[in-house]
Amino acid sequence: MTATLADVYDARLYARARHEAEPTGALFTAPERPASLTREQQRRNFQLLGRAISPRHQAGPSDRRPTKVRALTVLPPWSDLIALTDEEIAKRIENRTWAPNWLGTLLIHGGKSIDKQALALPAVREALPDGYEPVQGHVVAVADLAHIHDDDGTCTRWSEHGCFHWQLSNVQPLPQPEPTNGSQRLWKPSRALLDDITTANPSLSARLASAESQ
């Protein structure tokens, strides 16, 4: 098939238009690398990232005073077993492979993950109410960490061998659990978190205030 003058003319017009629309080599040139961030820009980016990941209870100027209360993240259903009020079936021993050099008022925080194997244990199923729904990512109770001792046998139905047994007493469930992020080991709740807990649960105001004043 032979090309006509019209075909050649159209092809030249197309090539010229394409050349003018796309700079030479634009499709094959690597993009220019952005300039390196300054230390101040890096610091600012880390601050913004932290706020995006954990927007609640960020430490503001009024939150920087140290809190005497501590918090412990426990996976449900264990956290909800601690929050039970029936002393006959409630979990009053927390089993840990480590022991802190601290005793005092402790927030029980239900983790966002669930110990699914625990839900299959007969003792757990018997203790939990019918229609149980795990409370995840919330502070569910306030307790006193009264004593820690080495494994001395099965001191309660919830004790495990080979662990330190953390004795919990004076456990009060929160009528309105407070959402917040948890952390590993013992962690310090912010002033904002304590204020939110007492605002939603006025019955705990005196207890938390007393713990902070000691």
Decide if 33 is inside a domain.
Answer: no
In a domain, 44, yes or no: no
Omega of the bond prior to 173 within 30 degrees of 0, cis? no
Does residue 156 lie in a domain region? yes
Per-residue pLDDT tens over the stretch 17-59: 444 433 333 333 444 555 666 766 655 565 555 444 444 544 4
Across 3-12, 129-138, 151-160, least confident range? 3-12
Q: Could you tell me if residue 151 is inside a domain?
A: yes
163 pLDDT exceeds 50?
yes
Which three-class secondary structure state does DSSP give residue 125?
helix
Residue 72 lies in a domain: yes
**Residue 55 belongs to a domain:** no
Residue 74 sits in a domain whose CATH number is 2.30.130.30
- 3-state percent breakdown (helix, strand, coil) of the chain, nearest 5: 35, 20, 45
In a domain, 186, yes or no: yes
Show the tokens assigned to 21: 């629309």
Does residue 98 lie within any of the structural domains?
yes
| Number of structural domains the chain divides into | 1
What pLDDT, on a 0 to 100 scale, did the predictor assign at position 10?
A: 54
